[in-house]
Structure 1
Amino acid sequence: MSALKAELARLIAEEGPLPVSRFMALALGHPRHGYYMTRDPFGRQGDFTTAPEISQMFGELIGLWAAHLWQAMGAPAAFRLIELGPGRGTLMADILRATRRLPGFREAASVHLVETSPALRARQAAALPEAAPVWHDTVGAALDGPAIVIANEFLDALPLDQFVMTQQGWRERLVGLGAEGELVFGLSPAQETIGAVASIGSVLEQPAIAAEIVSQIAAHLSRAGGAALFIDYGSSRSGFGDTLQAMKRHAFVDPLAQPGEADLTVHVDFERMGQTALNAGAALNGPSTQRDFLMALGLAERAARLSQSAASAQAQAVAQAFERLTAPGQTGMGELFKVIALAHPDLPPLPGFDLHRLPDQR
């Protein structure tokens, strides 16, 4: 039994079953045993791989997107370039490299990273030695003045609550202890007041933390200017379903089996996040699929250009990365991953949506 699993068992025995959101928060962020607090989970030697780790093309296109946005904002002399959950710092490094030739951009940008993991902060510092990043524990602390916010696979790691429709109505899903002391799912005895109508057995997820963060960012952008880009896996439409999953060494595992040793994520409800942003006063671009977004930014052309001057093995790697980023189904990220952008209402439609293409600045 892992150290965190033993601690959770003691906590449940003393205080009672935990909401799914509290279980997720402890499994991922416990100060001593939390998954993200103790390791670098990325890449082949870790538990999962994100788009920036698959290919530099991803980060380069996001960088050009940010450069175009900065110009559309009127090229402010100072703005915050903020990344939420920056992983190893790979995406930010690629963004900064892609924008180095745009006069004034790098001088105007101050880099801010929202990261709570000491292990990952060390990796980010090593990846960004010249960027002089400023780290923050919360999103609110990073927001100040005009901002360009990038969040790739950030919302999926935020804890949420789950409710199950029973014959007696909605009841909250909880994590408790089984007969032999193992962690098990159960239901609260009390009926919850939820207006949604669904069939027996349906699961409703309530991403209150994600919605609060999106609302906070949207409200700030509507006042101070700028835009935020969210890329994650999830659905364009709200619905029912249990999306909680755990990943260890690139394979799915039981979410309750190894808390603190496996990544926990949920699918993002992009319809709800978009409506939350609109309610907070921001303009909404998307949702789009990752494939459509990257193709509109020029991914195919960038891949072809890299392949022209590459050796055979490198060209094959570019082709494989292109396929991974754009393919549908379980083999790729092209359709499962969605993209939305929140923006100040006075900004024009943003690149990547409605097939609005970026000018070539490479």
Structure 2
Amino acid sequence: MQSLLDHLRARLRREGAMTVADYMNEALTHPWSGYYMHGDPFGAPNLAGGDFVTAPEISQMFGELIGVWCADTWIRLGRPAPCLLVELGPGRGTLMSDALRATRQVPGFHQALQVQLVEISPALRERQREALGAHEVAWLDNVGQIPDAPLLLIANEFFDALPVRQFEQTGEGWAERIVVLDDEDRLAFALAGPSPANRALIPTALHGAPEGSLVEVCPAALNITAFLGHRLARQPGAALIVDYGPAEPTPGPTLQALRRHRRHEVLQEPGTADLTAHVDFATLAQAATLAGCAAHGPVGQGAFLTALGIELRAAQLAEAAPGAAVALAAARRRLTDPAEMGSLFKVLALTPPNVGPPAGFAPA
């Protein structure tokens, strides 16, 4: 079987260049060698396995509180039934499993739900099937397949893995960063010629960025949030986006590769490392509100989880299992401390325009 690197070289010989977004898409989702299409990239805290750790793998408290948020939002929306509970990029299924377990006593909630997971990886679908075997679950290939019905949607560390295009401010305008083959047949970054059309893709707040500034734009993220905005403008529902990045547009670059919890060269050994970039929350919120829904936040993950009661939940779990008290305190700290995940990670909610702020977003 042709390696992904050889496939990319062949494509570049045919086409001459590709955008950074095209490279990310190939490296992450190529059918036979894309990073997410084989194996399990998720690790557990303090273990050597995996390439990165997400919040649901740090502690059950994260998924439980997300589940409570969904149930509370469902009640605020008038208990619609049926109601889709959709997760984008569900990883091992840990978050959804914890969320469903935490809400099984909410009257009518599980009876109203239709659980759907948007996942393209066959390997991860199997892990999710194992984690959620007690529940009826449907799998979708993309957001566009979500049925037209009342909707509760969760996206935890999903948007950071969507392909970004990169643009550099030059003395002659914005030029797109591309991937080419160098003289030694290696993948390398280069700049395409500046184009006036590129300026329209740059967030307005960054139009005046100084020469040499590099800005990342994620068309797929904007398309998805616009899709959600249109849906939530005309029917009951809510979307909860948890990811890492700045509250306002900020020059990059933030694109990075992670393998075995360490930084890795972005263009080396494609398909063997996770590729992520910071999420531009302000631009996501703008895309959603322009489509007709309301946006709440972003707020820091630490403030959000604290408002939902993570300290009380940690105390309850420690009382039930005193031997785990130290580990529970460490997990709570990691999820909420500003020096850990509490500040860099942020939470954005989307709702219909006539719905007030959901739990965790209420004005102080």
What TM-score, normalized by structure 1, do the two folds share?
0.95
User: Quick one: distance in 2 between partners of 1:125 and 1:12?
Assistant: 38
1:236 aligned counterpart, secondary structure: coil
Within 2, Cα distance between the matches of 1:162 and 1:354? 35
Kept after mapping to 2: 8 A contact 1:232/1:339 = yes
- In the other structure, the counterpart of 1:15 is 15
Q: 1:281 aligns with which of 276, 285, 292?
A: 292
1:298 shift after superposition: 0.5
Q: CA deviation at 1:354?
A: 2.9
Q: What does residue 336 of structure 1 align with?
A: 344
Identify the residue that residue 62 of structure 1 maps to in structure 2.
66
| Aligned: 1:301 with 2:312 | yes
Within the candidate set 151, 157, 160, 2:155 is matched to 151
1:106 match: 110
Whole-Å separation in 2 of the counterparts to 1:109 and 1:69: 13
- Structure 1, 190-199 or 217-226: larger mean CA deviation: 190-199
The residue number in structure 2 matching 1:201 is: 212
Equivalent residue number for residue 127 of structure 2? 123
Letter in 1 for 2:134: E
Determine the C-alpha separation between the residues in 2 that align with 1:33 and 1:200.
37
Query: What code does the residue aligned with 1:302 have?
Result: R
C-alpha distance in structure 1 between counterparts of 2:236 and 2:136, whole Å = 23
Match of 1:5, SS state, is: helix
Kept after mapping to 2: 8 A contact 1:83/1:92: yes
Equivalent positions of 1:80-95 (< 5 A) are 80-95=84-99
Q: State which of 133, 140, 146 in structure 2 corresponds to 1:142.
A: 146
Kept in 2: contact 1:84–1:113 (CA 8 A): yes
2:204 match: none
Counterpart in the other structure of 2:239: 228
CA offsets per residue over residues 23-42 of structure 1, 9 Å max, x none? Answer: 00000000000000011100
Mapped to 2, the partners of 1:34 and 1:89 lie a distance apart of: 20
Between the aligned residues of both structures, percent identity stands at: 49
Residue of structure 1 in register with 2:177 after alignment: 173
Q: Are 2:326 and 1:316 equivalent residues in the alignment?
A: yes
Contact 1:234 1:338 in 2 (8 A): yes
Cα distance in 1 for residues equivalent to 2:195 and 2:353: 41
Residue of structure 2 equivalent to 1:245:
256
Superposed displacement of residue 191, structure 1: 3.0
SS of 2:221's equivalent in the other structure is helix
Q: 2:169–2:214: 8 Å Cα contact kept in structure 1?
A: yes
Q: Structure 1: 5+ residue runs without aligned partners?
A: 357-362
Between Structure 1 and Structure 2, how many residues are aligned?
352
CA contact (8 A) 1:143 1:220 kept: no
1:75 aligns with 2:86: no
Aligned residue type for 2:31 = P
The alignment partner of 1:223 has SS state of coil
| Counterpart for residue 226 of structure 2 | 215
So what's the TM-score if we normalise by structure 2? Answer: 0.94
Matches of 1:250 and 1:328, distance apart in 2: 20
Query: Which residue number corresponds to residue 362 of structure 2?
Result: 354
Contact 1:148 1:226 in 2 (8 A): yes
1:271 aligned partner: 282
Q: CA deviation at 1:77?
A: 2.2
Hey, what's the Cα distance between the residues in 2 that align with 1:202 and 1:141?
Answer: 37
CA-based RMSD of the aligned residues comes to: 1.3
Aligned-partner Cα distance in 2 for 1:327–1:206: 29
Work out the CA distance in 1 between the residues paired with 2:330 and 2:186. 42
- For residue 100 of structure 2, the aligned residue among 96, 99, 105 is 96
**Alpha-carbon distance between aligned partners in 1 of 2:240 and 2:285, rounded to the nearest angstrom:** 12
Structure 1 residue 190, shift from structure 2 partner: 4.3
Aligned to 2:6: 6
Partner of 1:360: none
The letter for the 2-side match of 1:127 is A
CA contact (8 A) 1:172 1:192 kept: no
Cα deviation for residue 9 of structure 1 reads: 1.3
CA distance in 2 between partners of 1:119 and 1:139 (Å): 19
Task: Name the aligned partner's letter for residue 23 of structure 2.
Answer: F
The letter of the residue matching 2:257 is A
Confirm or deny: 8 A CA contact 1:173 1:188 kept in the other structure: yes
